[in-house]
């Protein structure tokens, strides 16, 4: 069954929900995770071009990242050489937190690649730990960000369990609609410029197969593609087609 599609009209409200209101907090009201990360010692802003690696598995886990703009793909690389997408992260998503969880020096577990051109805010893990120790509300903000990551990973794993590539593609498009969709008069436009190759790499397919399957969906009047931006006319209809 294709991943269900819920609440896409609430997208703009949901993507900005990563904040905590705690009357006992020393943080100013409505301070966001971005505000916190930017205020830490040793913070930096990084621009990474599409398809470039942010970190490899085995790299030292010394910095925590927050996406300010763009999308990042996290994947696991197995001994067989197969690479499986575990999350496709949007703006305000937190990643690279392994060193915070273990409490000591760790190595990266995932391969992080810029799915689009991205702007990242990076902070030393030591600075993040110090901020948590000084103010528990910082930990709550980080926990919210991490919880969002877990949900995204679960959804992506569900998407990749489909053996039929048509169903896998449809599920992936619905995930993109939920996380990157902008509702409009014609439907929901995925606010990413997606090449067929990028989609193929994300779901373990080939460019030729993705080109063929997208062509079939266009012929069925389920979507349109304009300058690499995909518009799903009716996400519910797309889901039902592959149920």
Q: Output the pLDDT for position 96.
A: 85
Domains and their CATH numbers in the chain: 15-149 (2.60.120.10), 160-241 (1.10.10.10)
What would the two tokens of residue 59 be?
């790299």
165-180 and 207-219 helices cross at what angle (nearest 10)? 80
pLDDT tens for the chain, residues 1 to 243: 555 444 443 434 444 443 333 334 455 556 788 888 898 999 999 999 988 999 998 888 889 999 999 999 998 877 777 777 888 888 888 888 876 765 555 678 889 999 889 999 999 988 988 888 888 888 888 887 777 777 777 777 777 776 789 988 998 999 899 888 999 999 999 998 888 998 998 888 899 999 999 999 999 999 999 988 999 999 999 988 876
pTM over 0.85: no
């Amino acid at each position: 069954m294709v991943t269900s599609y819920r609440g896409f009209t609430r997208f703009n409200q949901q993507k900005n929900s990563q904040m905590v209101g705690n009357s006992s907090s020393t943080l100013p009201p409505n301070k966001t995770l971005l505000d916190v990360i930017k205020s830490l010692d040793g913070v930096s802003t990084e621009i990474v071009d599409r398809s470039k690696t942010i970190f490899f598995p085995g790299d030292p886990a010394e910095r925590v990242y927050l996406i300010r703009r763009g999308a990042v793909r996290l994947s696991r690389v197995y001994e067989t050489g197969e690479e499986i997408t575990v999350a496709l992260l949007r703006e305000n998503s937190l990643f690279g937190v392994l060193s915070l969880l273990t409490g000591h020096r760790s190595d990266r577990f995932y391969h992080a690649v810029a799915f689009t051109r991205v702007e990242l805010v990076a902070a030393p893990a030591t600075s993040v730990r110090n901020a948590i120790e000084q103010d528990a509300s910082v930990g709550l903000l980080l926990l919210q960000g991490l919880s969002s990551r877990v949900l995204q990973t679960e959804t992506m794993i569900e998407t990749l369990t489909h053996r039929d590539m048509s169903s896998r593609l449809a599920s992936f498009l619905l995930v993109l609609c939920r996380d990157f969709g902008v509702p409009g008069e014609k439907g929901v436009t995925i606010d990413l410029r997606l090449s067929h190759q990028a989609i193929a790499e994300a779901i373990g397919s080939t460019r030729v197969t993705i080109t063929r399957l997208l062509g079939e969906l266009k012929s069925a009047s389920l979507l349109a593609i304009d300058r690499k931006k995909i518009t799903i006319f009716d996400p519910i209809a797309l889901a039902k087609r592959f149920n």
